[in-house]
Structure 1
């Protein structure tokens, strides 16, 4: 009974934190995908507005150019008619020619302004296209990372000769298992001490580690029953049944250091519900 009373002093994380981690990951992913969708929508809306503005400016400039051409034609016609019928002086004809030259200059400047505005709009549209492409690239990278994590998960045979569940080889893959929700997972970081550390439905005591061969020995305490797991290997599913039940519990260690192991315990859903 003294050993049982010491179980609460362990340094491992408990299962109560696992749903919060899962909610946090899903929330971050949802916010990220939402931001990507909003950025794409905003970029398209801004692109459409700028195109409409450029089209409107072009129409106005073309209308102004046509008006100037009409004015020039009318002035030239009036000048010709006046010269023929009224016999304008040389000075008046020079003034008419000067006015015509001014109108041509205004036409030239309008054409240059139009060409400059069109080039500016094209540059802005190119920048927007690049931003939209970058947002799409980020979305593809996120999807590829999730798919790669899912493909790396695998099953193997545990130390009791029973087919294991999916095995996580690092914390990222463990988060993917938690997201799937097929079992309950309790991650731990246990150091060698004289006291048991509580991890989910069991307590763990690290006896020794062998970093060269990546092996470890631990003692488990479940329902006041001690179970020693000796010389277990990195990523080997360590299996045992809870006393009086058919529920298989699995322990996987994916990091072995001097007097320290890092991994997780997985239990069926009904075990966590009955605790």
Structure 2
């Protein structure tokens, strides 16, 4: 084993703290090219600063990988030039083996960084767009909120105004209700006084009703007598004087009354219906023909043919007995018209029994 050189401690590299195991680069600015190469090669290398060489003999072998191995057992310190060149070139060759790997790694990292930057830029763009949309929505929401606030304030003002008007109307209604209640009390007092007066009058009326009932009983008796007199008068009125000045018999105003006269059997009766300007109608020994009607005035004109002579009865009225005499021994004939229409009349002919 080589012993440390006591003069090595004065080396500038050792004093500056440089690692003696790391070979000095060929282009290092600290190397003095003016120094002879043989002197630089022959100088012993300090392996641990100023510590004795024997104390650093236990350091790992990798720290002494470039330790000179050409020293002779005789203590010669001179190195050969080829060995020094080999010591200086070996680290450069090791760094050159890792250069492609480092370059590839740097390229991968650069591509990853670019991809990450692109994705980050894309997310940033999306975030900016969303932020813009959110800002627009926030602006629209703020505008709508302001409009809603304005409407609410306007509605609140209207509600307050309406509430004030409603309170005024309610107060007016309360005042009117008080007035009406007072009037109703006055009317109720008047009504009570009126009911009392009516009760008094009702008592007087009831007394009068009692006397009236007595009078009504006597009036009923008088009415019965009056009805009897009226029936007699009616019977007299039904016996009228005909156009010939002779008192007529009973007058039948319709078909039912005519049937009643037929059942009496005093005279013979023939019903007829005459049309205006129709051929003469034969009834017993007499022919009748309607010439003219006036429905509004209830008058008619009739042509009577009997015993080869014609008798015209002008402007006769309904229920008026039309009288004439006919036969070898002249007897009284009567014609009664009891219904009239437009251009038509109806009635009956009354002749003595047996003709």
Q: Normalized against structure 1, the TM-score is what?
A: 0.42
Q: Give the number of the structure whose alpha-carbon radius of gyration is greater.
A: 2
Q: Normalized against structure 2, the TM-score is what?
A: 0.33
Q: Which structure is higher in RCO with an 8 Å CA cutoff and minimum separation 6?
A: 1
